[in-house]
Amino acid sequence: MTADPYAATESETTEGRVFTVTGQDWDSLVSGVAEEGEDRVVVNMGPQHPSTHGVLRLILELEGETVTEARCGIGYLHTGIEKNMEYRSWVQGVTFCTRMDYLSPFYNEAAYVFSVERLLGIEDDITEKARVMRVLMMELNRISSHLVCIATGGMEIGALTVMTIGFRERELVLDLFETITGLRMNHAFIRPGGVAQDLPAGALDDITSFIALMKKRLPEYAALCNANPIFKARLDGVGHLDLSGCLALGMTGPVLRSTGYPWDLRRAQPYAGYDEFDFDVCTWDTADAYGRFRVRLDEMWESLRIVEQCVTRLADLEGAPVMVEDKKIAWPSQLAIGQDGMGNSLDHIRHIMGESMEALIHHFKLVTEGFRVPAGQAYVPIESPRGELGAHVVSDGGTRPFRAHFRDPSFTNLQATSVMSEGGQVADVIVAIASIDPVMGGVDR
């Protein structure tokens, strides 16, 4: 007889018998506990588990189906990104930090770049087109990130249609990212001084078509979920955390706004010109998983409003610069990709080579060594899809960061796992984690 590949494994520890759950194995777990004759059992859910949103380990202490204690085990996805940034130039740092929260890379780039620009003292020199393009990319990214949250959360509670249509729409956003930046993820597009390159021909038309399509498809989520008695029953009242709890734990983003508190850094502490855009801060009043779902659904509509305004403004800025004028910072604003999609175009190479020996040397030093940033430190917080994301950047006056540390909302929000889960059912732990929407790349860094 072949062994059941899904059976729960057990081990003896100082705390007693511990079961490691890998999925589809609750029957073997229950029978094992029944043989033990004890009500209390410790279960390891993860770190490789389909419902832990990445490489997250949950240590659950159960009495029957009730969770009496829940703890998070993190660090399985540690990449050393923050330390690596100390050994790269200021521009190269963007390539590292974009990979942290891999569902919202533009926000990682923006938080870091805004802090670098504050140290450089060039915040007021960023061109209008660069500011609008940054807002455009971030709001498109907010839509794609919320789509993944709703899709994976739906999948984990059995709403498979929500998952399939969520990823269907996300593909459309990634297609836009590829059109504009050349990459679907990890773009390194937002750079100190502006953005890497201008919008390609036809990009605004593609975005306009996407907006029209999303206005038809977003109502599908509302029709499938908002008043669906089965979907609502799984989320309503689950993972409850009120305003005082959120404030005590430093919770931000949709988790905080689901309590009815309208805290959004785009409104409270505007950056990147957000005060020039018309949008509403979305809230709900249930402080539970259902409220967080509704906040994210509403926020996608507001992001579409902002993207529409960006398209209108960018249509009037054709040919405008996307990088500051200071040539000691502005590389590679004149970057032009060749017809093969690789390297620089021949025209760009002739421009660099034909200026003068001094121009060539300056370009070489700027690319290989990078520019210097005045000594000091800066922290600029922004409103990412998961809450407050900020980069604390320290410079010693050199060509690379002395220290770069990120305040990632996934790391902070994950504290609420135990508060949301303890006293509830095992199945509700999945819903609570999904409503927090943690991304382990941002937690471990």
How many other C-beta atoms lie within 10 A of the C-beta of residue 174? 15
Any domain includes 442: no
pLDDT of residue 88 exceeding 50: yes
The confidence score (pLDDT) of residue 162 equals: 81
Distance of alpha carbon 191 from alpha carbon 326, whole angstroms: 14
In this structure, the answer to whether residues 201 and 175 fall within a common structural domain is: yes
| 410 three-class SS | helix
Phi, psi of 91 (to 5 degrees): -70, -40
Asked which of 73, 98, 124 is the last residue of a domain, the reply is: 73
User: Are 214 and 296 members of one domain?
Assistant: yes
Token pair 């490489």 is found at 55
Helix (H, G, I), strand (E, B) or coil at 93: helix
pLDDT of residue 380: 92
pLDDT in tens, 299-320: 999 999 999 999 999 988 888 8
Sign of torsion over alpha carbons 318, 323, 324, 325:
negative
Q: How far is CA 94 from CA 191, 227, 323, 431, in A?
A: 7, 42, 16, 33
Find the helix or strand (DSSP H, E) in which 395 lies: strand 387-395
For the chain, the average pLDDT equals 83
337 pLDDT above the threshold of 60: no
* Mean pLDDT across 342-354: 64
Cβ atoms of residues 393 and 115 within 8 Å = yes
Same domain, 92 and 46: no
First-to-last C-alpha distance (Å) of the chain: 44
User: Do residue 34 and residue 145 come from a single domain?
Assistant: no
Please check whether residue 41 lies inside any domain of the structure. yes
Give dist(CA 127, CA 186) in Å, integer: 23
pLDDT at 143 over 80: yes
User: Of the candidates 27, 55, 73, which is a domain's last residue?
Assistant: 73
Regarding predicted confidence, which is higher, 424 or 303?
A: 303
Please check whether residues 246 and 201 belong to one and the same domain. Answer: yes
The reply to whether 339 falls in a domain is no
103 and 246 belong to one structural domain: yes
Q: What is the CATH number of the domain that holds 173?
A: 1.10.645.10
pLDDT at 333 over 50: no
| Share of residues in the chain with pLDDT > 70 (%) | 84
The answer to whether residue 195 is domain-embedded is yes
Quick one: which H or E segment has residue 390?
Answer: strand 387-395
> What is the share, in percent, of the chain residues with pLDDT greater than 90?
19
163 pLDDT exceeds 90?
no
DSSP conformational letter for 223: I
The answer to whether residue 445 is domain-embedded is: no
Residue 171 domain flag: yes
How many structural domains does the chain have? 2
Q: Tell me, what's the pLDDT at 123?
A: 85
Q: Quick check: is 114 in a domain? A: yes
Same domain, 279 and 314: yes
Query: Considering the domain boundaries, does residue 337 fall inside one?
Result: no
What was the pLDDT predicted at 6? Answer: 47
Please check whether residues 108 and 133 belong to one and the same domain.
yes
Residue 141 has pLDDT above 80, yes or no: yes
- Residue where a domain terminates, one of 33, 56, 73: 73
Do 197 and 48 belong together in one domain? no
Polymer length of the chain = 445
Cα–Cα distance for residue pair 7/20, rounded to 1 Å: 9
Q: Are residues 53 and 202 in the same domain?
A: no
CB 156: neighbour CB atoms within 10 A? Answer: 19
| pLDDT tops 80 at residue 204 | yes
Q: Does residue 280 sit in the same domain as residue 173?
A: yes
pLDDT for the residue 70: 85
Do 120 and 262 share a structural domain?
yes
Chain centroid offset of residue 282 CA: 18
pLDDT category of residue 344 using cuts at 50, 70 and 90: low
Band (pLDDT 50/70/90 cuts) for residue 346 is low
Range of the domain at 382: 81-325+371-407
pLDDT 10s digits, 48-62: 666 666 788 888 888
348 band by pLDDT with thresholds 50, 70 and 90: low
